[in-house]
Amino acid sequence: MAATPQHKIKLYTNHGCPWAHRAHIALAELNVPFQEELIDLSVPRTREYLAINPRGLVPSLEFDGHVVTESAVVAAFLADAYPAAGLVPASTDEGGPLARARIAFFVDTYFSKAVGHAQKAVSAYAEGPAAQEPALADFVAAVVKEIEPLLADAAPFFGGSSKLTLAEVQTGSFLLRLYAYIKHGLVPASLEAELATKAPNFDKWAKATIAHPSVTCIWDEDRIIAHSKYRFGKK
């Protein structure tokens, strides 16, 4: 499929959803026009939306009438559909398969080994910092062991060049939340110093990623933090 900017793209989304946020980062990088429909997640999905995505989740993408769902698939699809944007090399490019494998492994590792611990820590916000410590220690240990070495040689990731890759598209919204949780006291502030000391490659890469305008495109920090404090603050 030769993708050109005249494709008809519609994104069903919710700006508070970190998974849907992935599609926004990809679209911001592609710099193509798209239609957006906001899905209210506080009410049951409409029959029309369930016909598009029977799981009832956001995001969903309509691309020339074809539906693509699951945020990781949506983001990878957009990156592949617009190869000129350079988010990920084509599998037919010289070195493409290896770079794609490295990016896929990195994203899989961050989500399978690290993210769950951070999520567990923030979920324990209502119980206080002492209750959050074990999960935070697990998060730092996972980043140090699993992620830090992958970023030692930054290429093909952002930081290795000034260009975002699919790795940052898939992780950026979760990095934004991590550092916002630190900043707003949803997890102990000591986490930032610990990451900077024990996982400097990660800290540098993550901070560069969350400063990128395509990553912050729909980010409303005050709203996300207020919602998180309400959600995780309940005993």
Contacts with ligand GSH by CB under 6 A lie at 17, 19, 41, 56-59, 70-72
Give, in order, the Cα–Cα distances in Å from 118 to each of 20, 166, 179.
19, 22, 11
CB closest to ligand GSH, residue no: 17
Sign of the dihedral through C-alpha 7, 35, 85, 22: negative
DSSP summary character for residue 133: H
Measured from the CB atom, the residue of 41 and 225 that comes closer to ligand GSH is 41
Smallest gap from Cβ 142 to ligand GSH, in A, equals 20
Q: How far apart are CA 14 and CA 9, in angstroms?
A: 16
* Partner residues linked to 35 by β-bridges: 10
Smallest gap from Cβ 59 to ligand GSH, in A, equals 6
Smallest gap from Cβ 181 to ligand GSH, in A, equals 16
Measured from the CB atom, the residue of 57 and 140 that comes closer to ligand GSH is 57
- The dihedral region occupied by 182, where left means phi > 0, alpha psi between -120 and 50, and beta the remainder, is alpha
Measured from the CB atom, the residue of 84 and 230 that comes closer to ligand GSH is 230
Measured from the CB atom, the residue of 59 and 89 that comes closer to ligand GSH is 59
